[in-house]
Amino acid sequence: MSEVSRTTQTKKQTTFIERTLVDINNTLEQTIFAETIAQKNGLLQALDPRLKVVAMVMLLLAISLSRQLTVIIALYFCALLLAILSAVPLGFFIKRVWVFIPFFTGIVALPALFITPGAPLLSLPLGIIITKTGAMTALFLLLRVGTSVSFAVLFVLSTPWNNVLKALAVLRVPDVIVLVLGMTYRYNHLLLHTTNAMFLSRKSRVLRRMNSPEERRLMAAATGTLLGKSLQLSSDVYLAMESRGYRGYPKTLDRFQMRWFDWLGGLIVILITVAAIWLGG
């Protein structure tokens, strides 16, 4: 049997349980890898999280206000440079940003290629014409979104999640939103581990390949069980929090302190933002 036929047969024999286990493990590995990056010795990791929040907002503002393509490209290369200086794997960083952006942003940008008036750039069959103005508009949108997401991803990758939530207080984000984000992130991990254990336990008891009706019944049963577990867990966690003194806002042991290189970094960000707005205006 040839190697291609073996691969095809293996794919056909892959069950719903195996595919689910692979997806859950991939999700957990990516999250753990992101937390590992936040613990490395890099440029952004050494900065105060509050400074990074304000800097990200300022840079996003500069990207939104810029009307020059070269300025947005220069800001994107600044993001790549920061990723290198912060020990973020460049391939992982680029893939994380650009895998889904062309698809989701392209859906919004695609009509601009044809409905924006301007000089024709490319003629397609059925009388469809792509204009230069439309192509430039779509390119601006893709680069703006890509550069903005790059800075946001850098902020999340270089900062532990608890510090991200605590630093949001600088922007006066309501406490309830911060709490919901923190609980969602924390217990998504737990529910993923629970789901992984459920499917792995089921797989260890299966001696043959399940057919489609059996897989659908398994998926429905697993969904119902996981929903019941999550409702029970939420009630138990809230009671445990109240018994330990929770009164509306979680406390962390980390204390933020601005040092001289934080102030220097803030000055550099201000200069970059002002220059980007001025040059791109």
pLDDT digits (tens, 9 = 90+) for 68-107: 888 899 999 999 999 999 888 888 888 888 877 767 777 7
In whole angstroms, how large is the CA radius of gyration of the chain?
A: 24
The larger pLDDT score, comparing residue 9 to residue 229, is at 229
Which of 131, 133, 140, 60 minimizes the C-alpha distance to 108?
Answer: 140
pLDDT at 34: 67
Residue 65 has pLDDT above 50, yes or no: yes
- CB count within 10 Å of CB 135 equals 17
Q: Where are the domains of the chain?
A: 23-280
For the residues 109-121, what does the mean pLDDT come to? 69
Give yes or no for residue 13 having a pLDDT over 50: no
Q: What are the φ and ψ backbone dihedral angles of 118, each rounded to 5 degrees?
A: 160, -175
Picking from 15-29, 105-119, 155-169, 267-281, which range would have the lowest pLDDT averaged per residue?
15-29
- For the whole model, what pTM was predicted? 0.70
| Residue among 249, 271, 266, 261 nearest 50 (CA) | 266
Determine the Cα–Cα distance for residues 134 and 140; give it in Å rounded to an integer. Answer: 10
Token digits of residue 8: 């095809």
Burial 72-87 (b: 16+ CB within 10 A, else e): bebbbebbeebbeebb
Spatial separation of the C-alpha atoms in residues 53 and 104, rounded to whole Å: 25
The mean pLDDT of 52-73, rounded to a whole number, is: 89
Angstrom distance (rounded) from CA 235 to CA 196: 22
Question: Phi and psi (nearest 5°) for 123?
Answer: -105, 130
Instruction: Reply yes or no on whether the pLDDT at 276 is more than 60.
Output: yes
Strands 120-124 and 128-131: antiparallel
pLDDT over threshold 60, residue 123: yes
Taking alpha carbons only, the member of 186, 169, 144, 170 closest to residue 60 is 144
